[in-house]
Amino acid sequence: MSAEPIVEVKNVGKTYDGAVDALADVNVALPNGALSTLLGPSGCGKTTLLKIIAGLIAPSRGEIRVKGKKVAGPGPERAFVFQDFALLPWGNVLRNVGFGLELRGLPKEERDHIARKHIAEVGLTAFELRYPHQLSGGMRQRVGLARAFAVDAEIILMDEPFSSVDEQTRRKFQEELLDLLRNKKKTVIFVTHSIEEAAYLSDQIVLLSASPGTVSKIIRPNIDRQGRSPDEIRRDKNYLDTVDEIWQILKHYV
């Protein structure tokens, strides 16, 4: 993991309808090649901050810099995986995964070739011609992930991507995400409500305070995941200490 930040959040605040402060004076650096998680109590502005980084909404104050350049809107170096999948209901899996490439003007043959590669990576090769209504929630989430990887963005922004699946599927997705990231060396900014998920996945955890959200603490789990099973990781002292440290902070907001 490079120590150099790829995303810098500088004095960011967000006020809705001129009255509701969602974020206040958020400052954080998100390292290149790392998985950074935004975690905090309900309503602390996690998703709002993620969308500001994505360029989907504008901050009321402050700025976001990606690779040193101020963000003024969405960009090809960032891809967003939505909580509700945001799939095209009229498009099959192949069309949905290749949609970002279609928007960039790639010829159909080329984008289908790229889409099939990423469909295979998420284990959906046999479902290329299925439509979203024919897929389970977990399968739709895989489509959303494959679409993000297909555009080859440097930064993947994920808004509670595993919240709609059962615990067994969630753990499987967590393992698959880590496997994919080992091979792709992407920067991931991840929103979750789960303390355990944050500790298991993250290189860096950004704890936000209750609304208006601001950075309460930065935690780096320092868990050695190399060659270790998920059960070994979850028994690791650093993992257990990270879960406890986060809970000791967040329980005051419950």
Which CATH number belongs to the domain containing residue 3 in this structure? 3.40.50.300
Say what the pLDDT of residue 53 is: 97
- Note the pTM of the prediction, 2 decimals: 0.89
Say what the pLDDT of residue 168 is: 81
Task: Judge whether 84 lies within some domain.
Answer: no
Task: Judge whether 223 lies within some domain.
Answer: yes
- Of the pLDDT bands very low, low, confident and very high (cuts 50, 70, 90), residue 123 is confident
* Nearest CA-CA partner of 8 in 49, 61, 66, 79: 66
User: In angstroms, rounded to a whole number, what is the distance separating the alpha carbons of residues 70 and 168?
Assistant: 40
pLDDT of 253 > 60? The answer is yes
- Of the pLDDT bands very low, low, confident and very high (cuts 50, 70, 90), residue 121 is confident
Sheet with 215-219, side-by-side order of all strands: 78-81, 155-159, 187-191, 35-39, 204-208, 215-219
Task: Judge whether 141 lies within some domain.
Answer: no
Share of the chain above pLDDT 70, in %: 98
Omega cis (within 30) before 230: no
pLDDT of 119 > 80? The answer is yes
Indicate the number of domains in the chain. 1
Q: β-strand 35-39 against 187-191: which pairing, if any?
A: parallel
Task: Judge whether 64 lies within some domain.
Answer: yes
Task: Judge whether 55 lies within some domain.
Answer: yes
Average pLDDT over residues 123-131: 94
Reduced to 3 states (helix: H, G, I; strand: E, B; else coil), residue 156 is strand
Please tell me the least confidently modeled range out of 112-121, 171-180, 184-193, 207-216: 171-180
Task: Judge whether 227 lies within some domain.
Answer: yes
Task: Judge whether 142 lies within some domain.
Answer: no
pLDDT of 199 > 90? The answer is yes
Average pLDDT over residues 104-115: 94
Domain that holds residue 62: 1-73+193-249
pLDDT of 1 > 60? The answer is no
* Nearest CA-CA partner of 40 in 172, 188, 210: 210
- Of the pLDDT bands very low, low, confident and very high (cuts 50, 70, 90), residue 32 is very high
Task: Judge whether 163 lies within some domain.
Answer: no
Mean pLDDT, all residues of the chain: 90
